[in-house]
Amino acid sequence: MNKLAIMGAMEEEIEPLLEYFDDIKVTEYADNKYYEVNLDGLEVVIAYSKIGKVFASLTASTMIEKFGCDTLLFSGVAGAVNSELKIGDLVIADKLCQHDLDIVAFGHPYGYVPGGKVFVDTSKEIREVAKKVALENDIKVLEGTIATGDQFVNSVERKDFILDTFKADALEMEGASVAVICDALNVPCFILRAISDSADHSADFDFDEFLKSSAKISADYVIKIAKALQNK
């Protein structure tokens, strides 16, 4: 690993990451900001993509192609699909899918288009390092499937569909698209999510109430992972 990318989707998801650094170089590119920092000698680029698969794909591609990052870590929040997950729990994606990708009318399964695949794997090597870090720091993590789609799910029916179709543990709006980019460009990636809600609340649920605390939990862990990867 020569240069590390750390991504979030929202500004709130990278704010706790940036708090680790004093000397930050800001580069504006493609209607976004990229924060270049040094973590104990390792070059790191931090950015939030904005919400959704298109912006996440653009940001991941930029970090790899323009800034030369050869490893990517994603830190953020997600809704729980697995009923055992509680607010603040951490989920590591071993694979991801796009729950809103639908050309079943042409005889294909949900989440699939020709030339693609339903599930995209993340880096097993990084996951093993992350699990070791979790064990050493008494951090509880679940390794499982994360579903991505361009919708904030707060309906029981939609949540049940995602659970039944993809056997997902958590859902969010960026991870699978980042995994697709990294897979295509042969860049090891790692997707970490802290649970911020149970994805089936009514519209009056206060998502913001849990966003900052969950993002902080996720960010602290991802910094520990970055340091462990550097010291391998």
Residues annotated as part of the active site: 13, 197
Angle (CA) 170-10-199 rounded to 5° is: 30
What are the counts of helices (DSSP H) followed by strands (DSSP E) for the chain?
6, 10
Contact 42, 226 (CB under 8 A): yes
Indicate if the alpha-carbon torsion angle 167, 158, 156, 174 is positive or negative: positive
- 3-state secondary structure at position 139: coil
- 3-state secondary structure at position 4: strand
Residue-wise DSSP of 107-119 = TPPTT--TTS-S-
User: Which positions ≥6 away from 135 have C-beta within 8 Å?
Assistant: none
What would the two tokens of residue 68 be?
A: 């030369």
Query: What's the CA gap between 50 and 23, in Å, rounded?
Result: 24
Q: What's the start-to-end Cα distance of the chain, in Å?
A: 10
